């Protein structure tokens, strides 16, 4: 069941009608519309986003106040809630065709542009901070993923980047000290991605076969055990947060990371 939340500072009737018109194109969709009307305070907005984060949900919002719209974006990103401004896309298209900014609600248009620009900047940041690149710039990262080879660091980093997070990743290499800039990042923003030995060996064997990497130096159980022991010691020593990625999708891992960051900064 998909819960479609309609968040409005008025009755929300227009947004509800829009949802119903869209749902008419689907045959017997398993959808429940939950209206949260007359939502006008920051606490009320935060409560609705938190409620939507508790299950399979899509949050549609139509708010006049620029500050509340910005809060919905921030809270939705922090809690990994799929949200959509029902006015923003229309304003953007009209502005493009009219070659002028909207006069009545300029904050809405700027908010949409800023959100898109943030995603572009976050993705660019991720590509320039993949696999230990540009470590001297790690202080700008909102989250740094660490782990041994094939522990889902890069795909998880990119998923977070496309959600607007400034993310980087640094590999943990056996018997090599982590770069000093990594140790300067607040511990709660560094997340160690841990994977079981068997699953890691399976992934590495596949990669070794495809790329010609010697199995003996990369995918043996003894080698993997030593790497994981070393990585785990580093994580404990420096107080990094840990997420077990074994058998999980990138989406699941990312949600856990976002939840950890939210609790750490609450």
141 with 54, same domain: the answer is no
> Per the domain annotation, does 178 fall within a domain?
yes
Q: What angle do CA 150, 152, 154 make, to 5 degrees?
A: 100
The count of other CB atoms within 10 Å of the CB of residue 124 is: 12
The stretch 56-76 carries a mean pLDDT of 89
181 with 257, same domain: the answer is yes
244 with 182, same domain: the answer is yes
**DSSP character at residue 177:** P
70 with 139, same domain: the answer is no
Residue 188 confidence (pLDDT): 96
* CATH number of 205's domain: 3.40.50.300
> Per the domain annotation, does 93 fall within a domain?
no
> Per the domain annotation, does 118 fall within a domain?
no
> Per the domain annotation, does 78 fall within a domain?
yes
Task: Copy the structure tokens of residue 74.
Answer: 């921030």
Residue 32 confidence (pLDDT): 95
Residue 46: CA count within 13 A, CB half-sphere: 5
* CATH number of 41's domain: 3.40.50.2300
Q: What angle do CA 151, 165, 260 make, to 5 degrees?
A: 65
The stretch 58-71 carries a mean pLDDT of 86
Residue 160 to residue 162: CA distance in whole angstroms: 5
173 with 74, same domain: the answer is no
Structural domain harbouring 173: 128-265
> Per the domain annotation, does 100 fall within a domain?
no
Residue 5 to residue 3: CA distance in whole angstroms: 6
Q: What is the mean pLDDT of the chain?
A: 90
> Per the domain annotation, does 102 fall within a domain?
no
pLDDT surpasses 60 at 76? yes
**CB distance 181 to 134 below 8 Å:** no
128-138 residue pLDDT tens? 999 999 999 99
The stretch 210-236 carries a mean pLDDT of 93
> Per the domain annotation, does 105 fall within a domain?
no
Residue 107 confidence (pLDDT): 44
Please, which pLDDT band fits residue 154 given cuts at 50, 70 and 90? very high
159 with 247, same domain: the answer is yes
**Lowest-confidence range among 17-21, 191-195, 230-234, 238-242?**
17-21
Number of compact structural domains in the chain: 2
Residue 67 confidence (pLDDT): 82
84-124 residue pLDDT tens? 988 666 666 777 788 876 544 434 445 667 778 889 999 99
138 with 238, same domain: the answer is yes
Which is nearest to 167 in space by CA: 116, 115, 131?
Answer: 131
The stretch 232-242 carries a mean pLDDT of 97
> Per the domain annotation, does 61 fall within a domain?
yes
Q: Could you give phi then psi for residue 198, rounded to 5 degrees?
A: -65, -45
């Amino acid at each position: 069941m998909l819960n479609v939340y309609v968040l409005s500072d008025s009755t929300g009737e227009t947004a509800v009608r829009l949802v119903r018109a869209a749902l008419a194109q689907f045959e017997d969709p398993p959808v429940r519309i939950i209206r949260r009307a007359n939502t006008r305070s920051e606490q009320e907005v935060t409560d609705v986003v938190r409620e939507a984060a508790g299950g399979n949900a899509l949050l549609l919002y139509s708010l006049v106040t620029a500050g509340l719209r910005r809060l919905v974006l921030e809270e939705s990103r922090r809690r990994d809630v799929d949200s959509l401004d029902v006015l923003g896309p229309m304003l953007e298209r009209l502005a493009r065709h009219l070659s002028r900014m909207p006069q009545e609600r300029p904050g809405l248009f700027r908010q949409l542009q800023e959100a898109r620009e943030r995603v572009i900047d976050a993705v660019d940041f991720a590509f320039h901070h993949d696999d230990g690149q540009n470590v001297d710039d790690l202080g700008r990262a909102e989250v740094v993923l660490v782990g041994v080879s094939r522990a889902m660091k890069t795909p998880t980093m990119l998923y977070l980047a496309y959600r607007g997070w400034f993310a980087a990743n640094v590999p943990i290499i056996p018997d090599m000290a982590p770069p000093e800039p990594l140790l300067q990042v607040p511990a709660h923003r560094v997340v160690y991605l841990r994977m079981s030995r068997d699953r890691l060996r399976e992934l590495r064997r596949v990669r070794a076969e495809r790329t010609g990497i010697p199995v003996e130096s990369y995918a043996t159980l003894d080698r993997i055990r030593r790497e994981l022991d070393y990585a785990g010691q580093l994580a404990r020593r420096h107080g990094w947060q840990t997420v077990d990625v074994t058998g999980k999708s990138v989406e699941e891992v990312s949600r856990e990371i976002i939840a950890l960051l939210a609790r750490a900064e609450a």
